[in-house]
């Protein structure tokens, strides 16, 4: 399967490995700050809100709403050509942070800002799972 998956794959590093490891186990895990209580994404060494280094990984609900999105009518390179049109969306997770992802839907035209969404894990290779989202109204 990994031989046939031609799209970009993350070059996972020590700072991001817990996120991708959790995704492979179908969990959405992001850092939470023990100092200010806020979550953030993407994962960092210092809280971007209060700059504390007292952080811990925290499983979140995988629910949120669409903050904004675009429908790609031209692909981001030939490897995405078969997917056009596809939706890239920015989700405002219920825990606060925003996260870029894809919306999986048969009808891209119905996607709207404010739509409620839920994570759905796409195991694209044995080593890589991408947390994508579906519309609750679908």
- Answer yes or no: are the C-beta atoms of 34 and 25 closer than 8 Å: no
Binding of Zn ion by 44 (CB under 5 A):
no
Partner whose binding site includes residue 58, from other proteins, Zn ion, none (CB under 5 to 8 Å by kind): none
- Pick from 38, 74, 24, 34: nearest CA to 54: 34
Partner whose binding site includes residue 50, from other proteins, Zn ion, none (CB under 5 to 8 Å by kind): Zn ion
Contact residue for other proteins among 4, 11, 106, 107 (CB under 8 A): 11
Binding of Zn ion by 52 (CB under 5 A):
yes
Binding of Zn ion by 47 (CB under 5 A):
yes
Binding of other proteins by 72 (CB under 8 A):
yes
CB of 37 to other proteins, least distance (A): 19
Near other proteins in 91-120, by CB under 8 A? 98-102, 113-114
Residues that bind other proteins (CB under 8 A): 7-13, 16, 41-42, 48, 67-77, 79-80, 83, 86, 88, 90, 98-102, 113-114, 130
């Amino acid at each position: 399967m990994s031989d046939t998956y031609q799209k970009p794959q993350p070059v996972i590093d020590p700072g991001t490995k817990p996120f991708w490891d959790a995704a492979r186990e179908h969990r959405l895990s992001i850092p939470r700050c023990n100092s200010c209580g806020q979550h953030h994404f993407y994962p960092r060494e210092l809280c971007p809100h209060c700059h504390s280094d007292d952080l811990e990984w925290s499983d979140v609900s995988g629910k949120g709403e669409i903050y904004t999105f675009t429908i790609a009518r031209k692909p981001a390179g030939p490897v995405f050509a078969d997917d056009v049109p596809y939706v890239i969306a920015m989700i405002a997770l219920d825990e606060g942070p925003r996260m870029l992802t894809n919306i999986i839907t048969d009808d891209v035209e119905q996607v709207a800002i404010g739509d409620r969404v839920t994570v759905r894990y796409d195991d694209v290779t044995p080593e890589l799972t991408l947390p994508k989202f579906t519309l609750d109204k679908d």
